[in-house]
Amino acid sequence: MNKHSVKKELRWLAQQSESEVADRPPVTASTLVSVSKHEPSTLLPRIAAAALVAAAALGIFWQLERSARTPEEVPTSLTELVEALYRPAAENAYVAYEISPYFGAQPSEPDDFMGAVWREVSGSGK
Amino acid sequence: MTQGARTTPTAGEADESLIERFVRHRDLRALDEIIRRYTPRLRRLLATLLRGTPDEICDSEQEVFLTLVQNAHRFDNRSSFSTFFYALARNRVLDLLRSRKRYVNRHGTERSFDLVESHYTRPDRELLDEERKTRVRTALETLKPADRFLLYMKEVEDMSVRRLAEITGARENTIKSRLKRSRDRLAVELKDIHNE
């Protein structure tokens, strides 16, 4: 089928479809104006939806901001900073404790070893 | 350009003048004249693109004109009224096509029962026409709603690519390539329609 046949088929369909509704009278202006007066406004639902989206976005932003400012997450003092650094150091300390005998060190207990690391990191031992 | 608020619209009066009279003076006779002028083309468009009973087609027609009444104040003479009207109609038609697609997806193809039933009651010619209509409509429905509208306006209403670009806000080259793609698609879908 070529381009002209497509056009022909579409025109034929339009003609057939049109004939099915040809006898219907057109709507009148007075009916339309009367219906439009009773049609609920679409403005209020739109404003309400926009306000909800804005509130949700604000809530999420506030939550993110709040969690970002939690002392546990963002250090606000030197001590907190050291604590924050200590955690990964402590995890590494277990590994260090396990392998320390191979390097000649012989700490008595893991906790003691980690305590030594903590004192080293925080400077509290000095 | 502005004519008297309550003069009877004449056949030669421009659409732009009529809609201005309706917006400024709520002149219902001017709006009736607009409706009289645009109903045949709008009805043909809706009846061709939407599957539905005559009542449903007329309801959709009323919805489009209602959209015009609600948005008539936005017409600013920067384009012709016809372009303004078809841009509004297009948006409404695309909404209807999308909502009908959801309906058909949920409930299966409309009118399929009517077709089976009609085998026992209708003459052959009518049956063949009904089948051909279903084939062309089904082929048309393989296109996106926006492409269906473009192809219809170009092939049935002989609207120029330039006018279509104004109505849709797309570039002329984009319209041309979309039309070509749609025609090619339809040609494939309908390739054996005359061989059966």
pLDDT of residue A52: 80
Q: What's the whole-number average pLDDT of chain B?
A: 84
What distance in Å separates the CA atoms of residue A86 and residue A117, rounded to the nearest whole number?
8
Q: Do A32 and B62 touch (CB under 8 A)?
A: yes
Interface test with B, best of A9, A35, A43 (most B CBs within 10 A): A9
Q: How far apart are CA B181 and CA B187, in angstroms?
A: 10
DSSP assignment of B64-116: HHHHHHHHGGG--SSS-HHHHHHHHHHHHHHHHHHHHHHHHHHH-STTHHHHH
Half-sphere exposure of A64 (CA within 13 A, CB side): 6
Mutate to test the interface with B, among A2, A4, A10 (most CBs of B within 10 A): A10
B158 CB neighbours in chain A (<8 A) are none
Taking CB atoms and an 8 Å cutoff, what residues of chain A touch B40?
A: 18
CA distance B41 to B19: 18
Residue B1: its pLDDT value, please?
A: 44
Question: pLDDT tens across B100-148, in order?
Answer: 665 555 544 444 444 444 455 567 778 888 888 889 999 999 999 999 9
CA dist., res. B103 & res. B90, Å (int): 20
Is B17 within 8 Å of B121 (Cβ atoms)? no
Nearest to A97 by CA among A83, A107, A89, A86: A107
Lowest mean pLDDT among A11-20, A110-119, B43-52, B63-72: A110-119
Closest Cβ opposite residue B156 in set A1, A14, A22 = A14
So what's the pLDDT on residue B129? Answer: 84
The model's pTM is: 0.65
* Cβ-nearest to B35 among A6, A22, A27: A27
- pLDDT per residue over A79-107, tens digit each? 666 666 666 666 666 666 666 666 555 55
Report ipTM (2 d.p.): 0.81
Closest approach of B78 to chain A, Cα-based (Å): 25
Closest Cα in chain A, distance from residue B169 (Å):
24
What is d(CA B172, CA B165) in angstroms, rounded to the nearest whole number?
5
**Mutate which of B21, B32, B63 to test chain A, going by most A C-beta atoms within 10 A?**
B32
Reported as a single tens digit per residue, the pLDDT across A36-70 is 887 666 666 777 778 888 888 887 777 777 666 55
pLDDT at position B117 is 47
Q: How far is residue B156's CA from residue A6's CA, in Å, rounded to a whole number?
A: 10
